[in-house]
Amino acid sequence: MLIVLAKATVPEGALDAARDAIATMVAASRAEEGCIDYTFTTDVLDPTSLHIVEKWRDKDALAFHFTTPHMAAFQAAIAGTGVQVTEALKFETDDGASLF
C-alpha cells in the first residue's frame, strides 16, 4: 500500500471557492480502482492549512490517478484560488494494524 501525505496553504476565503472542486476530486478519486481512501481536512488550529491523506493499493494505481481527467479538472479549478500544495510525501507500507 502507498500512503500520500500532502499539505496545502489556502488563502483566507479561498476554501469556499475551492470547496466544490475538492468535493468533486474526492468523490472521483475514491471511485478509482486502487484507491483505498482519499481525504482533505483542514487544520483546526490553522484554517489556512489543508492536509490531504491518500491511500493507494500500489504505485500503478497512484500513477494512473495523476493521468485522470478529474485530476486535470481539479488542477484547473484551483489554479485561480491561491491554493498551493507545499509538500507531498509518498510512503510504502503494509496494510497497518489497529491500535485498539
Q: 86: pLDDT confidence band, cut at 50, 70 and 90?
A: very high
Phi then psi for residue 6, to 5 deg, are -130, 155
The reply to whether 69 falls in a domain is yes
**Structural domains counted in the chain:** 1
Q: How far apart are CA 25 and CA 75, in angstroms?
A: 10
Domain that holds residue 8: 2-91
| 98 inside domain | no
Instruction: List CB contacts of 82: < 8 A, sequence separation 6 or more.
Output: 10, 11, 14
Q: Which pLDDT score is estimated for 91?
A: 97
pLDDT in tens, 4-63: 999 999 998 888 888 999 999 999 999 999 999 999 999 999 989 999 999 999 999 999
Q: What pLDDT digit, counting tens, does each position of 16-31 carry?
A: 888 999 999 999 999 9
- Kindly state whether residue 97 falls inside one of the protein's structural domains: no
Domain for residue 15, yes or no? yes
CA-nearest of 75, 89, 99, 95 to 1 is 95
CATH of the domain at 17: 3.30.70.100
